[in-house]
Amino acid sequence: MNFSSKLLEDAVNEFSKLPGVGQKTALRLVLHLLNKEQEEVELFGNALIRLRKEIKHCQVCHNISDNQLCSICAAAKREKEVICVVEDTRDVMAIENTGQYFGLYHVLGGLISPMDGIGPSDLFIDSLVQRVATTPVKEVILALSATMEGDTTLFYLYKRLKDFQIPITTIARGIAFGGELEYADEITLGRSIVTRVPYQTSLIK
């Protein structure tokens, strides 16, 4: 692209480094910002700079946090003896949005993926094992994606945690609510028949 301005070119290049943003989209976004008030653009730029500079990770669960201890770990009302292990912050937010879970979390920061060069030592797995070893824990819930990397990590975590003699559970897999049987893939459908559960009216709202 031929830019008439170095400032414009810099801004477009920075934007197009973002995942899924090409040069044309970047230009569209930058021209949009140019039409905004100066204070608005400063708010935007500074929000990003402050985020990267001041953000902390919770010392206990490694979730993104404004303080040394995240709001979930610091809350008085949570069940402190249940730990739900997730891949990243987005999963914490997704589970919190359900309003069905009241325990604590442990954010691994990724999944074991030899293809991408990510091994167990790159993730917060040792600190999970230490947490289970040093604090009273009643249950560890492994809530990882149903992918190759998720299953690998699941198996590795199980091996590391099984000697502590505490219940290790995973989230239920099956047909999604609203999902139609004929469109379900055969692995999901097959497993959901094998792992069928007693009909419970108490769960119906």
Q: Which residue shows structure tokens 């830019």?
A: 3
Residue 75 CB, shortest distance to a second copy, in Å, is: 11
> Residue-wise over 17-48: b if at least 16 C-beta within 10 A, else e?
eeeeeeeeebbebbeeeeeeeeeeeeeeeeee
Cβ contacts of 36 within 8 Å, gap of 6 or more: none
Of residues 22 and 167, the one with the C-beta less far from a second copy:
22
Residue 35 CB, shortest distance to a second copy, in Å, is: 10
Rg (C-alpha) for the chain, rounded Å, is 22
Residue 45 CB, shortest distance to a second copy, in Å, is: 4
Q: Is 188 exposed, middle or buried (0-12, 13-18, 19+ CB in 10 A)?
A: middle
| Alpha-carbon distances, residue 35 vs 32, 39, 41, 45, 59 (angstroms) | 5, 12, 10, 15, 42
Of residues 8 and 129, the one with the C-beta less far from a second copy:
8
Residue 96 CB, shortest distance to a second copy, in Å, is: 4
What is the binding site for a second copy (CB under 8 A)? 1-8, 10-11, 13-15, 17-21, 25, 27-34, 36, 38, 41-55, 63-66, 70-72, 88-90, 92-93, 96-97
Of residues 2 and 200, the one with the C-beta less far from a second copy:
2
Give the alpha-carbon dihedral of 188, 194, 195, 196, to 10 degrees. Answer: 100
Of residues 47 and 171, the one with the C-beta less far from a second copy:
47
Of residues 71 and 135, the one with the C-beta less far from a second copy:
71
Residue 152 CB, shortest distance to a second copy, in Å, is: 21
